[in-house]
Structure 1
Amino acid sequence: MIMLVDLIPIFATLLVVVAGLMRQQHVDNTKTRDLIDKTSKENRDLIEKKSDENRELIDRNRDLIEKYHLETAASIGEVRERLARIEGHLEIRPTPPPDDATAEAA
C-alpha cells in the first residue's frame, strides 16, 4: 500500500516542473511582446517616412504637370498663330461652322 508520504516527492517534482514551465512560458511571452512592439514601431516609422516621400513626389509631379501644361498651352498658341499666318499668306479662308439646321438635316 502506498502511503501519502511516499507521494510527496512526486508531487514536489511535478510542482517544480510546472512552475519552471510557467516561468519559461512567461519569459517567452515577454520576449515575443517586446519583439512585436519593436517591429510595430519600426513599421509605423517606415510607413510614415514613405508617406512623406510619396507626398513630396506627388507635389513635385503636380508642379511638373502644371509646368508642362503651361508650356503646351503656349506652344499651341504659337502653332495657331503660325497656321493663321500661313493661311493668310495662301489666302485660305477658314470654313464657317455648319448651321444647326444644316447639321441636323445631314
Structure 2
Amino acid sequence: MFLDDWLGGDRDLSSCLKPVKRVKQKLEVIGFLIAHEKCSWFPSQYVKWLGYVWDTNIGKICVSVERIDKAEKAASLILSEIGKGVLLFSARTLASIIGQLISMQIVLG
C-alpha cells in the first residue's frame, strides 16, 4: 500500500504538532517506509498541495502557476488548431483540457 499527500490542520502551531507526531509514529509502528526527504512534518500556513496554493494567513486557496500554465498551453494548442480550420479533436485531447479545468473547480467555483 502507498499513501501520498495528506493535509491536516488545527487552530495553532502547538495543536498541529501533536497529531503530526502521532501520525508519523503510527506509520512507522505499522511498518510504513517513510520517504522523509519528501515529507514536510512541520506545520506551515503556506503550502503547495495537489496543484493548489493554500495560504491560511490570508484565507485563500489558489490554483498554482504551474497548473494554470499547463491549462493555458493545452487551450492555446486547441485554439491554434481551430484557427487553422481543424475542428475535430481526439477524445483524449478534449478530456485532458476539460479535466484540467474541472479540477480547478474548487477554486474557480
| Same structural fold, with TM-score higher than 0.5 when normalized by the shorter chain | no
Structure number, greater radius of gyration:
1
Q: Which has the higher contact order (CA 8 A, sep 6+)?
A: 2
Q: Which structure shows the higher helix fraction?
A: 1
Q: TM-score, normalised by structure 1?
A: 0.28
